[in-house]
Chains A and B, each alone.
Chain A
């Protein structure tokens, strides 16, 4: 398929009527704000990305970075009464933000589906697992209960639940954590959606089960050629499954690139911080971790200028620009976009000389650098 993802500039002028999307999913300058008693919460503030079928986008960020709200926005799962949403979301040639709730509901399940983080609270304890899969299937397909029941068994079998004909009539509390997550996936996939959004699908699971679920999502994606958005805070999971990665901070995208670029030549100080914060099993143990100082910002009171500047170790290098001006997400090398005031060459230099040796603690592979530098 090649790399067909393109990020449109976050300040793109919305010409909703005349715009024709080229990818299966295109998000253009999405903003979701919630007015609260304490002030306006800018949960998502100018996110743009595109995703074609068969590819996986990883969205990484800490809690409160807006990664989950963006995906709920795509699914149309927000309360129209108490949220302000602007921008455009194009799914399979149809615009969602301006569409009616009923239109979006029809698309949900069939064209897009979501796997939630906590399977126990996302499954209804009053209904059997089978019933919950059947419900979604019969909404979109005019079939009898018997056919739908058979389909539910097939789905459970496909996600690797043993004895699916027996387990289909079990209640969620009969299932273990990993099996519940599988049941959620079966439910999400019951209508063969072309877009699958997985919001921290493995965070509540053990590593061995996590590996099973990630394999499963990958296998199913190959089978159905669907587009997948994988939302996670675990860089390990992203490295395992994603083709492209979007790093979010304070409701804004700060870095976007393909997975190789992002892990081998990251350019945003926040991404560096995430890498330094994470103990890794594939490297000799380091004496100390290199955390990002401070705490994630409040979305009501974002710091002025670059939202990351109070925690950034390199803000002095910009002569006060960090505090005054919001950096735009601009392309540094083709396909790699960074929202940082530091010049591109300086960022590459800092990564190569200061960050990478500390993060990896092994001599840098020479090829890693020559390719990317112009």
Chain B
């Protein structure tokens, strides 16, 4: 399960300098652009074959947009997406279609991502028809095999989505995703709409399928404990940028970026005896608007370790501090060594406006 025994260096997907700016326009007839929401602003990472990369961050940090750009559901503004050696960044639909077999997506909401007017059989079988794929024994047989694979009763082929519970619907979504035997699966919040006990079932299912079918996952989630459970490497995003990228154990045991530390310390611990005496870094205020992100380090308006120099005017590059552990902070070494201590901060009103 570790990263090492999964053929390192064998990148399935490479993303470099990826940007998505949504234009903000004014005027009805003569539209002119007055600004841009910098949803994703310069992401670079790669996913190796067979591994699971987790993408975490708060809402609005651009993690979903990243996933949608990799799926080419969103046209990147800038940057490059290379999948198995093919540059798919601006590839035309006609050429892209055969490649779509290899990249599939699991959606967050099992209620809105299944067409209520179609039967399960036709939902799960749709990829075969769209890709005009001939399957052994017909589409019906393949669909029933898929349903069995994800733990559903194959006899439910003719039922409609509303006859299933949330967890079962998510399994239907997974079955559809798996139909074309993709290589890479982008899972956007695959379990956040489900009950706790059902979440665990779906997480286990995803892990089993990965082992069985040799899948590669990009898991987008806001739940840090779920991400730790399934990921090999984790990228932490803040306001459209990756602020830290490391192997799971590195990140969760020795986070280097103040934002990752704060994020981890904010997760409630299900152990009442640890309630007292736990250090929590309280972040004040909200995430600044991506319309007008702060200059320099984007986190400096909320960072408890903010320094007089560099933070506000110099953009921190994502640099490798330890092998495989990248962080975008000017002062990461000093913070880790304890040379800089967090300040008691008064709420910064400016970040809220």
Residues of A that sit less than 8 Å from B by CB: 62-63, 160-163, 176-179, 206-212, 214-215, 233-240, 242, 259-260, 263-264, 273-282, 285-293, 295-296
Chain A residues with CB under 8 A of B11: none
B32 close to A (CB within 8 Å): no
B58 close to A (CB within 8 Å): yes
User: What is the interface residue range for chain B against chain A?
Assistant: 35 or more
Chain A residues with CB under 8 A of B341: none
Contact of B225 among A163, A206, A281 (CB under 8 A): A281
Q: Are B269 and A236 in contact (CB under 8 A)?
A: yes
Chain B residues with CB under 8 A of A296: 165, 195, 197
Tally inter-chain residue pairs, CB-CB below 8 A. 142
Which of B226, B249, B270, B349 lies at the interface centre, i.e. has the most chain A CB atoms within 10 A of its CB?
Answer: B270
In the complex the two chains form, what is the Cα distance from A278 to B272 in whole Å?
Answer: 15
Chain A residues with CB under 8 A of B225: 278-281
Q: Are A239 and B222 in contact (CB under 8 A)?
A: no
In the complex the two chains form, what is the Cα distance from A209 to B266 in whole Å?
Answer: 9
B207 close to A (CB within 8 Å): yes
Given A179-B286, A276-B200, A278-B196, 4 more contacts at CB 8 Å?
A: A176-B287, A209-B286, A280-B269, A282-B269
In the complex the two chains form, what is the Cα distance from A209 to B228 in whole Å?
Answer: 20
Contacting residues of chain B (104-139) with chain A, CB-CB under 8 angstroms: none
Q: Are A211 and B224 in contact (CB under 8 A)?
A: no
Q: Are A208 and B263 in contact (CB under 8 A)?
A: yes
Chain A residues with CB under 8 A of B165: 295-296
Q: Are B264 and A281 in contact (CB under 8 A)?
A: yes
Q: Are A282 and B274 in contact (CB under 8 A)?
A: yes
Chain B residues with CB under 8 A of A242: 272
Q: Are B268 and A289 in contact (CB under 8 A)?
A: no
Chain A residues with CB under 8 A of B199: 277, 291
B160 close to A (CB within 8 Å): no
Contact of A278 among B200, B262, B282, B287 (CB under 8 A): B200
Q: Are B197 and A162 in contact (CB under 8 A)?
A: no
Can you name the residue of chain B whose Cβ is closest to the Cβ of A235?
Answer: B270
Contacting residues of chain B (300-351) with chain A, CB-CB under 8 angstroms: 347, 349
Contact of A295 among B167, B228, B283, B347 (CB under 8 A): B167
Contact of A288 among B195, B204, B266, B273 (CB under 8 A): B204
Can you name the residue of chain B whose Cβ is closest to the Cβ of A214?
Answer: B268
Q: Are B197 and A282 in contact (CB under 8 A)?
A: no
Closest 10 CB pairs of A and B: A236-B268, A291-B200, A277-B200, A279-B229, A289-B200, A206-B58, A292-B197, A211-B266, A162-B349, A62-B195
Q: Are B229 and A274 in contact (CB under 8 A)?
A: no
Task: Name the distance in Å between B244's Cβ and chain A's nearest Cβ.
Answer: 15
Contacting residues of chain B (192-213) with chain A, CB-CB under 8 angstroms: 195-201, 203-204, 207
In the complex the two chains form, what is the Cα distance from A285 to B253 in whole Å?
Answer: 11
Chain B residues with CB under 8 A of A274: 196-197
In the complex the two chains form, what is the Cα distance from A295 to B352 in whole Å?
Answer: 42
Q: Are B58 and A208 in contact (CB under 8 A)?
A: yes
Q: Are B267 and A281 in contact (CB under 8 A)?
A: yes
Q: Are A289 and B270 in contact (CB under 8 A)?
A: no
Chain A residues with CB under 8 A of B274: 282
Task: Name the distance in Å between A348's Cβ and chain B's nearest Cβ.
Answer: 19
Chain A residues with CB under 8 A of B168: 295
Q: Are A239 and B200 in contact (CB under 8 A)?
A: no
Contact of B270 among A62, A160, A236, A273 (CB under 8 A): A236
Q: Are B228 and A279 in contact (CB under 8 A)?
A: yes
